[in-house]
Structure 1
Amino acid sequence: MADKRLAIVHVAYGAVGQRQNRRSLSFYFEPRSFNSHTHGRDSANKEPWTTRYGAQQDLGYTGPLSFSHFPYTRCLEDPSQLFDIAIIGFPFDTTTSYRPGARFGPFAIRSGSRRQHARGYTLTWGTSPYDLGAGLHDCGDVPLSAYDNAKAIDQMEAAYTTLLSRPVLGGTNEAYKSQTAAISLDGKEHPRIVTLGGDHTIVIHFDAHLDTWPPSGTTGQERITHGTFFAVAAEENLMTNTSIHAGIRCKMAGIQDVEHDDAVGFQVISTDDIDDYGINNIVKKIRQRIGNSPVYLSLDIDVVDPALAPATGTPETGGWTTREVKRIIRGLSGLNFVGADIVEVAPAYDSADVTGIAAADIVHDFLTMLQLAEPPVPHKGPFSLEDLKYP
């Protein structure tokens, strides 16, 4: 009988786990006489994985990379794949005016979301977006041109058209389903899309920058950039006069930039307004501005202070905290959202993945916000108004 013992080349002092792996492998190669002395290990190790341990579950740090371990499909090439809310990546950064790298943003945001799915419930929302009944799916990334901006923009439009034109999956959230039908032009239910990456109807725009610079007034080399897209949208009659910025604090060329922003159709909430008026009044102002109109939420990660989210192309100091942004988002639940995006995450400038994790956490809030008919009831801790008074 041939000797079937496994030959092992030992090139380093292995850890305990590595030695155990060699023992497991050797079980299938070593002679039977050796196995007879394994104290019962022979029969147990012949059982398949599912018998001994059950399903091959993904841990928070394992498995294929999709947002929050969602089911993943290349939806653009698979018309049979239906969903209620889709995650789609736009790996694009060739219109940036300062630091590039946002094309890697979708990957960083997905990576930052790995721990979310198994523990989606939060005190602040009082629910989990994964338990609200909408069919959630990751549709992968759009393969956008890195060489031709005009082609990339056409590819973005084609991707949106392809995904939005298909019917919804038809989850169990009836309030969500009726809301999507009410705001569509054809009166039918359509899916919503949350976009990761890219460069930014009625718009709620969370950003440090206006992004309404005149198309001919920046470099003179390109009309459509990450700082002009709202102005171009206004020129194409895609904007109404009921949009609003939140978190603005950038430096400008002069008062003419503010005047042009007003002409495009935006009101401005500055970063400092949160200190003067508080979060509740900011939420109230946004809701009054939007009313019952269909609205798209675009959040540039640089609305968050760079001390908390450094990985972005044009950082501005003095921003809002992640907690403040998340509280405002909760207060916007129930508006007629047609979709949302989070952009400008450039992970090359990150530290310990904090920006990717923050962005993924905000997307988690988006997914809950899109499914609720009204803001959540605030968590009631063990405090009262009397606790606000000094002793």
Structure 2
Amino acid sequence: MPKGYAPVSGLESPRFAGIRTFARLPHVRELAGVDVAIVGAPFDTGVTYRVGARFGPAAVREMSAMLRTYHPSLDVDVYEVLSVVDYGDLPVVPGYIEDSYQRIEQGLLPLLEHDVVPLVIGGDHSITLAELRAVARRYGRVGFIQFDSHTDTWDEYWGKKYTHGTPFRRAVEEGLIETTRAIQVGMRGSLYGPEDLDQSRELGFEVWTADDVRRTGLGAVIEAIRRRVGQGPVFVSFDIDFLDPVYAPGTGTPEVGGFTTREAQELLRGLVGVDIVAADMVEVLPAHDVSGVTALAAANLLFEILAVLAFNRRGMTR
């Protein structure tokens, strides 16, 4: 039996019917009895190349309709353990990044104050800074796991401090991330110079490039992630361009030589036991998405995170 809020079953109503929420979950704004909330943050004017990720939350919800309840690899029925809702979208201000940051932060605080785990669908990667600000107000500095093809630790673009390429430098400067418990995985592609990776290391991040991952294998990476973040609250940020453009063409700054959806699933499943207090999925850009394959991948990878949360919660209650 479901613990609380759970999806409408495809055996009761066709999956093409009804209003589109994530995985057909109820759209609920009251937080009593809620463990996890899916939240949209449709802001995309922090990008430096292609815009359009503001439509990401809607696209991911659309492609999530086929998600079911049981995760066979982790042997957990998510909604028997967790009460999950679709909280809807936060009220961002297109074109005004600092105003949107304030609204995202304020919008997430009620969830965090009720110990609800927010899973945020972006939007571009600039939104994660606002999420981290909210999370830090509840938990203090947190561990950080980033799956991405870019470090997003540049100091500025065109003299501007707030873009989707700068959020994690700002987060370190603001004391939001415990850098001794922070790791970035999947960096690849051409760079302006070696300093593009060195700057992350100088800030305190452990950095695993795509080449590093290929040389050592996924198992070693999972061990490194778990060793790095250790005990304590952790934020997980997944940029869909971590995947190769073959698997995720619908994104703003694609880089070849990336990972498969299967590899991403394995990496996320390796986070069992990690104390995930918030996570996001960013940079899904539907206008460049062939047959919705990118949004489909994003929806399923969010389900992997939900399954990890359920696995962890079940272990705590046994």
CA deviations over 1:4-49 (Å, ceiling 9, x no partner) = xxxxxxxxxxxxxxxxxxxxxxxxxxxxxxxxxxxxxxxxxxxxxx
Equivalent of 1:127, from 69, 76, 81?
76
Could you tell me how far 1:142 is from its partner in structure 2?
0.8
Equivalent residue number for residue 233 of structure 1: 171
Cα distance in 2, alignment partners of residues 146 and 235 from structure 1: 25
- Aligned residue for 1:253, secondary structure, equals coil
Equivalent of 1:156, from 97, 104, 125?
104
CA deviations over 1:186-218 (Å, ceiling 9, x no partner) = xxxx11110011323221000000000113xx2
CA deviations over 1:144-175 (Å, ceiling 9, x no partner) = 10032111000010011122123xxxxxxxxx
Equivalent residue number for residue 68 of structure 1: 23
Q: Is the 8 A contact 1:67 1:138 kept in 2?
A: yes
Equivalent residue number for residue 380 of structure 1: none
Could you tell me how far 1:82 is from its partner in structure 2?
4.4
Equivalent residue number for residue 381 of structure 1: none
Could you tell me how far 1:81 is from its partner in structure 2?
5.0
Equivalent residue number for residue 361 of structure 1: 300
Cα distance in 1, alignment partners of residues 298 and 49 from structure 2: 20
Q: In the TM superposition, what are the counterparts of 1:228-377 in structure 2 within 5 Å? A: 228-241=166-179, 242-373=181-312
**Closer, same or farther in 2 for the Cα pair 1:335/1:115, shift >3 Å?**
same
TM-score relative to the length of structure 2: 0.86
Could you tell me how far 1:123 is from its partner in structure 2?
3.1
Cα distance in 2, alignment partners of residues 368 and 358 from structure 1: 15
Q: Which has the higher contact order (CA 8 A, sep 6+)?
A: 2
Give the gaps of 5 or more residues in structure 2.
Answer: 1-10, 129-141
Cα distance in 1, alignment partners of residues 94 and 32 from structure 2: 27
Q: In the TM superposition, what are the counterparts of 1:105-116 in structure 2 within 5 Å? A: 105-116=56-67
Equivalent of 1:140, from 80, 88, 104?
88
Q: Is the 8 A contact 1:330 1:369 kept in 2?
A: yes
- Tell me, yes or no, if structure 1 residue 206 matches structure 2 residue 155: no
Could you tell me how far 1:357 is from its partner in structure 2?
0.6
- Aligned residue for 1:95, secondary structure, equals coil
Bigger fraction of residues in strand:
2
Cα distance in 2, alignment partners of residues 252 and 273 from structure 1: 16
Q: Which protein has the larger Cα radius of gyration, Structure 1 or Structure 2?
A: 1
Could you tell me how far 1:130 is from its partner in structure 2?
2.2
Could you tell me how far 1:255 is from its partner in structure 2?
2.0
CA deviations over 1:256-311 (Å, ceiling 9, x no partner) = 22222112221111112332211111100111111113110000000000011100
Cα distance in 2, alignment partners of residues 58 and 228 from structure 1: 44
Q: Which amino acid aligns with 1:130?
A: Y
- Aligned residue for 1:315, secondary structure, equals coil
Q: Which amino acid aligns with 1:162?
A: P
What is the aligned residue count? 289
Could you tell me how far 1:312 is from its partner in structure 2?
0.3
CA deviations over 1:336-383 (Å, ceiling 9, x no partner) = 11111000000000111111111000011010111223999xxxxxxx
Equivalent residue number for residue 136 of structure 2: none
Identity of aligned residues (%): 37
**Closer, same or farther in 2 for the Cα pair 1:159/1:82, shift >3 Å?**
farther
Cα distance in 2, alignment partners of residues 212 and 314 from structure 1: 15
Q: Which amino acid aligns with 2:27?
A: Y
Q: Which amino acid aligns with 1:319?
A: G
Equivalent residue number for residue 96 of structure 1: 47
Cα distance in 1, alignment partners of residues 53 and 84 from structure 2: 24
- Aligned residue for 1:227, secondary structure, equals coil
- Aligned residue for 2:300, secondary structure, equals helix
Equivalent residue number for residue 59 of structure 1: 14
Q: Which amino acid aligns with 1:148?
A: Y
Q: Which amino acid aligns with 2:223?
A: K
Q: Which amino acid aligns with 1:116?
A: L
Q: In the TM superposition, what are the counterparts of 1:370-389 in structure 2 within 5 Å? A: 370-373=309-312
Give the gaps of 5 or more residues in structure 1.
Answer: 1-55, 167-189, 377-391
Deviates more, 1:236-245 or 1:346-355: 236-245
